[in-house]
Amino acid sequence: MIEIIPAIDIIDGKCVRLTRGDYNQRTEYGADPLEMAIRFEDHGLKRLHVVDLDGARMGKVINYRMIEKIAARTSLRLDVGGGLKTIEDLKIVFESGAEMATGGSIAVKNPEMMESWLSQYGSERIILGSDFKDKMIVVSGWTEQSDQELMPFLESWVKRGVTQTICTDVSKDGLLQGVSLETYNEIIKAFPDLYLIASGGISGIADIEKLAEMDIPAVIIGKAIYEGKIDLKELERFL
């Protein structure tokens, strides 16, 4: 059964969603991140993906106080990304209550640091961020395109010991127009042991069902929940 992972993206302490990763195309939602996390838990969800968008833009962890609140008030397993550039950033996230951390930009710009994190904390706690646009890896809160292609990038990190990755098609994120089924199918066939977490473009339950049929291990859902395209009650059958 596919693992359902709701997302909370934070700017200025508020739940937001970006369109295609554009900070100028952001939608703010009234729900407090903590209140939203509690709603997710009340519906039986076990894990939460938190993105510190302020941190991603500024290059350091910013919203750790909110991470602390969510960790203290819920039993959700938190994975956190955004702004993780140093071992100090990583420690802040873990000390704030996160169980896992996602390294995306660091894997491109400072792979030695990413390798040291894997060595120190293990692949169970360190997730590779492999966000892409036109099959090229993007970094720094999706504001920069790197020179690394998606599939070779994944291959290199699987060889280094990565066992799980969050893979977001930035060109689809926030559009509610469907997911990159072909790309995810290519990834899961090439790396069958990789815990692939698909992200970006989920428009409704049908998209989740398609991913489940392809044996994709997990999916992150954000805007479809906030915009009412998916009712949290509907997700309970996947649990």
Residues tagged active-site: 9, 131
Assign 3-class secondary structure to 168-197: EECCCCCCCCCCCHHHHHHHHHHCCCCEEE
Q: What is the DSSP letter of 28?
A: E
What is the spatial distance between Cα 142 and Cα 145, in angstroms, rounded to a whole number? 7
Task: List Cβ neighbours of 26 (8 Å cut-off, separation of 6 or more).
Answer: 11, 16, 17, 18, 19
What is the spatial distance between Cα 173 and Cα 159, in angstroms, rounded to a whole number? 28
Both tokens of 134, joined, read 């036109």
105 contacts 85 by C-beta, under 8 angstroms: yes
What is the spatial distance between Cα 224 and Cα 205, in angstroms, rounded to a whole number? 9
CA distances from 105 to 129, 146, 222 (A): 8, 9, 21
Count CB atoms within 10 A of the CB of residue 228: 7
